[in-house]
């Protein structure tokens, strides 16, 4: 608790004890009783009264302080001392609770986002010196000891270690780094000492960008927040005028009709409606819910740039994905080996990898990688002689004295060797050994391991259509789409075609539906900004993507899209619950109060009770 909160707590306790005592002690004299009750009343309510007066002086007549001051002063004038003091007491309890809850969720979020480095270590004359990360220039070598956070983006120049990136990406598996690897700030160094040459200034480093983004996300307000702010602006004055009418009109009508006016009865009803109508529950619970939702999402590695985007995400029914880098890894790898009769798969791979060993092409590299991974042996270039590139076809070489040809189908035709046609899609590498066919190897971009479950999860989260857009060849695109269960696939698209495709879908969908585009941030900035919500994936370190996107997934796991949608839906449903619940209770109590069915105690519940329930409900967003 802060100092301010403790002070209020003490006032609450003192005042509550005094009211309790005064209820037990019978005091006959009306004036003595009033004087005694004024003590706890002023202890608990002096600041509210002061604010109400200041508000009137400054032309801010209708606010909560005014509501509370009028209601309680009115009650006391009418002789309802206990009720008058109790209303003020519970109002303060409610305010204290609210302030505590808000402070708690603020602290929770900052704990979740505890990535801000306080210092950077620089080595000077063999001594480590702690300096402000802001003062470290680009190209400086900084030292990160085990247990410390990497303060600035850079490249490892010395040492190897494992890094915990969970605060950034939500990914719990540590990442290994070696000299030459890029490291991003905000990771925690787990095991070894690292020397890192910085490549960015602190202000431009990942950690600063992320913190800036999270801290500013509340600035972009949602429709619900704006609605409530506007609502509260008209609501409180309207209630005050309504209460005034309730206090004056019925007695006047009574007088005209010749009945007893019953002033005090109607004034009490009017005061009760004032207490009920306090809009605190609504006004606090909505930003609190969004803050919790955005904070909970960042803890899972999903950065949402504003409450408005979280709101839009909850209404998402169309998800359009880029293929390469989003659903697939965007790297080539051997996906299938088909050896001809009497040929071992490993030999096929060995021959192909060696034949291609002098090429730097991604295909050759993937062959080499697959060979080394499958057999544990290294490619030995000394076994290879007489390498000859046949442009547009492939390569021929002599390996251990045997002539090996590896290349596409055209190469086999050229050599007049009959070959098998692959059943699956991908880039084909056919291999012939000593002039006879040995089999083929398929190389393709691999689908991310959890892409299929990610798409299933999207549908489960209420997404109606998942569309995949790609610049790739049709057969490749369609096989990936079939494997992943994507609803619609559009292939062989140029970047500009992706924009027009998204525009077509935007025009097609219903007015309340939203379209999200998910890309890896490379070449798709125009589409990211054209969609209702642009989601950039694995975008750490890509400034353009962070800039263009509305939501940034810190790692490249497509399952995070569904996670983000679920968090958004949960947040929005809590927001709606709170709006409906608070308004329903208030309007019900207002209606009943006007006819005298609700006394001051119910009014206190309708105000403070509803607010506490709404705040507790709002805090559930933190645990998403």
Partner 1 sequence: MKKTYKIEVDCAACAAKMEEAANKTAGVKEATVAFMPQKMKVEFEEGADAAAVMAEVLRNCKKVESDCEIFL
Q: Which residues bind partner 1 (CB under 8 A)?
A: 50-51, 54-55, 58-60, 63-64, 95, 98-99, 102, 105-106, 215-216, 218-219, 221, 229, 232-233, 279-280, 283-284, 286-288, 290-291
- Measured CA to CA, the distance from residue 75 to residue 71 in angstroms comes to 6
CB of 50 to partner 1, least distance (A): 8
CB of 234 to partner 1, least distance (A): 13
- Mapping DSSP to helix (H, G, I), strand (E, B) and coil, where does residue 600 land? helix
Instruction: Pinpoint the alpha helices (H) of 280-328.
Output: 280-299, 307-314
Tell the burial category of 346 from Cβ atoms under 10 Å away from its Cβ (0-12, 13-18, 19+). Answer: middle
Nearer to partner 1, 215 or 400 (CB): 215
Q: Does residue 506 contact residue 455 with C-beta atoms inside 8 Å?
A: no
Give least dist CB 209 to partner 1, A. 15
Minimum gap (Å) between residue 547 Cβ and partner 1: 15
Residue 218 CB, shortest distance to partner 1, in Å, is 4
d(CA 508, CA 19): 65
Nearer to partner 1, 466 or 568 (CB): 568
- Specify the residue, 287 or 301, whose C-beta has the smaller distance to partner 1: 287
Toward partner 1, which CB reaches closer, 223 or 377? 223
Count Cβ neighbours within 10 Å for each residue of 110-134 and write b for 16 or more, e otherwise. eebbebebeebbbeeeeeeeeeebe
Q: Closer CB to partner 1, residue 279 or residue 394?
A: 279
204-217 burial, b for 16+ CB within 10 Å, e for fewer?
ebbbbbbbebbeeb
Closest approach, Cβ 62 to partner 1, in A, equals 11
Contact 375, 350 (CB under 8 A): yes
- Give the gyration radius of the chain's Cα atoms: 35
How far apart CA 524 and CA 167 sit, in angstroms, is: 27
CA distance 306 to 288: 13
Beta carbon nearer to partner 1, 61 or 173 = 61
CA atoms of 339 and 352, how far apart (whole Å): 12
Six-digit token string for 501: 């495709």
d(CA 271, CA 73): 9
Q: How many CB atoms lie within 10 A of CB 56?
A: 15
The residue behind tokens 């390498």 is 387
Q: Using the minimum distance from each CB to partner 1, give the nearer residue, 203 or 596.
A: 203
Cβ(302)–Cβ(501) below 8 Å: no
Sign of the dihedral through C-alpha 104, 105, 107, 108: positive
* Of residues 537, 604, 105, the one with CA closest to residue 325: 537
The answer to whether 499 touches 302, Cβ cutoff 8 Å, is no
Residue nearer to partner 1 on the CB measure, 143 or 286? 286
Q: Do 436 and 454 touch, CB atoms closer than 8 A?
A: no
Residue 614 beta carbon to partner 1: minimum distance, rounded to whole angstroms: 12
Tell which residue, 47, 51, 75, 76, has the closest CA to residue 63: 51
Whole-Å CA distances, 204 to 182, 457, 523: 15, 35, 22
- As measured in angstroms, the least distance from the Cβ of 312 to partner 1 is 18
Closest to 183 measured CA to CA, from 203, 167, 162: 162
Q: Which is nearer to partner 1, 196 or 207 (CB)?
A: 207
Q: How far is the CB of 291 from partner 1 (least distance, A)?
A: 4
Residue nearer to partner 1 on the CB measure, 278 or 592: 278
Query: Are the C-beta atoms of residues 509 and 515 closer than 8 Å to each other?
Result: yes
C-alpha 97/C-alpha 614 separation (Å) is 12
Rounded to a whole number of angstroms, the minimum distance from the CB of residue 612 to partner 1 is 15
Q: Annotated active-site positions, please?
A: 322
**Helix or strand run (H / E) with residue 88:** helix 81-112
* Residue (233 or 377) nearer to partner 1, CB: 233
Among 400, 242, 429, 399, which residue's Cα sits nearest to residue 339?
Answer: 429
* CB 67 to partner 1: min, Å: 11
User: What are the Cα distances from residue 223, in Å, to 56, 216, 220?
Assistant: 30, 17, 10
């Amino acid at each position: 608790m802060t100092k301010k909160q403790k002070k209020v707590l003490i006032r609450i306790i003192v005042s509550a004890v005094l009211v309790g005592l005064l209820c037990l002690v019978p005091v006959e004299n009306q004036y003595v009783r009033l004087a005694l009750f004024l003590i706890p009343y002023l202890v608990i309510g002096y600041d509210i009264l002061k604010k109400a007066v200041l508000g009137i002086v400054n032309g801010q007549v209708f606010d909560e302080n005014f509501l509370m001051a009028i209601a309680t002063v009115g009650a006391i004038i009418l002789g309802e001392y206990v009720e008058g003091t109790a209303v003020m007491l519970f109002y303060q309890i409610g305010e204290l609770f609210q302030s505590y809850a808000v402070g708690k969720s603020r602290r929770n979020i900052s704990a979740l986002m505890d990535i801000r480095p306080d210092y950077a270590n620089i080595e000077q004359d063999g001594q480590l010196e702690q300096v402000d990360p802001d003062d470290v220039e680009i190209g400086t070598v900084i030292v990160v000891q085990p247990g410390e956070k990497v303060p600035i983006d850079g490249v490892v120049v010395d040492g190897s270690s494992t890094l915990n990136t969970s605060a950034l990406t939500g990914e719990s598996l540590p990442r290994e780094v070696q000299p030459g690897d890029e490291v991003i700030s905000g990771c925690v160094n787990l095991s070894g000492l690292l020397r890192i040459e910085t490549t960015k200034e602190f202000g431009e480093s990942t950690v600063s960008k992320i913190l800036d983004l999270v801290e500013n996300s509340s600035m972009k307000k949602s429709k619900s927040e704006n609605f409530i702010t506007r609502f509260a602006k008209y609501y409180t004055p309207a209630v005050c005028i309504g209460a005034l009418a309730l206090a004056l009109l019925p007695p006047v009508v009574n007088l005209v009709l010749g009945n007893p006016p019953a002033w005090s009865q109607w004034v009490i009803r009017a005061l009760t409606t004032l207490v009920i109508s306090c809009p605190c529950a609504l006004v606090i619970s909505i930003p609190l819910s969004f803050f919790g939702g955005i904070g909970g999402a960042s803890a899972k590695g999903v950065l949402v740039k504003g409450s408005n985007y979280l709101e839009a995400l909850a209404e998402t029914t169309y998800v359009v994905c880029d293929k390469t880098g989003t659903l697939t890894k965007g790297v080539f790898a051997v996906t299938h080996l088909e050896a001809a009769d009497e040929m071992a798969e490993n030999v096929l791979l060995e021959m192909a990898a060696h034949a291609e060993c002098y090429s730097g092409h991604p295909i050759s590299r993937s062959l080499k990688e697959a060979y080394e991974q499958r057999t544990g042996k290294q490619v030995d270039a000394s076994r290879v002689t007489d390498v000859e590139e046949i442009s547009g076809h492939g390569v021929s070489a002599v390996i251990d004295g045997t002539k090996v040809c590896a290349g596409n189908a055209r190469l086999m035709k050229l050599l007049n060797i009959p070959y098998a046609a692959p059943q699956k899609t991908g880039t084909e590498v056919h291999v012939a050994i000593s002039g006879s066919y040995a089999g083929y190897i398929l190389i393709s971009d691999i689908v991310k391991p959890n892409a299929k479950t990610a798409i299933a999860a999207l549908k489960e989260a209420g997404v109606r259509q998942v569309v995949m857009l790609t610049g790739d060849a049709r057969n490749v695109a369609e096989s990936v789409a079939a494997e992943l269960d994507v609803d619609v696939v559009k292939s062989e698209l140029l970047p500009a075609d992706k924009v027009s495709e998204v525009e077509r879908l935007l025009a097609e969908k219903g007015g309340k539906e939203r379209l999200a585009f998910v890309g890896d941030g490379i070449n798709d900035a125009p589409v990211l900004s054209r969609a209702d919500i642009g989601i950039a994936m694995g975008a750490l370190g890509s400034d353009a993507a962070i800039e263009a996107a509305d939501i940034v997934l810190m790692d490249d796991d497509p399952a995070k899209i569904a996670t983000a949608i679920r968090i958004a839906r949960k947040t929005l449903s809590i927001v709606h619950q709170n709006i409906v619940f608070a308004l329903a209770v208030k309007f019900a109590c207002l209606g009943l109060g006007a006819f005298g069915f609700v006394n001051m105690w119910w009014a206190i519940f309708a105000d403070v009770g509803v607010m506490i329930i709404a705040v507790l409900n709002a805090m559930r967003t933190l645990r998403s």
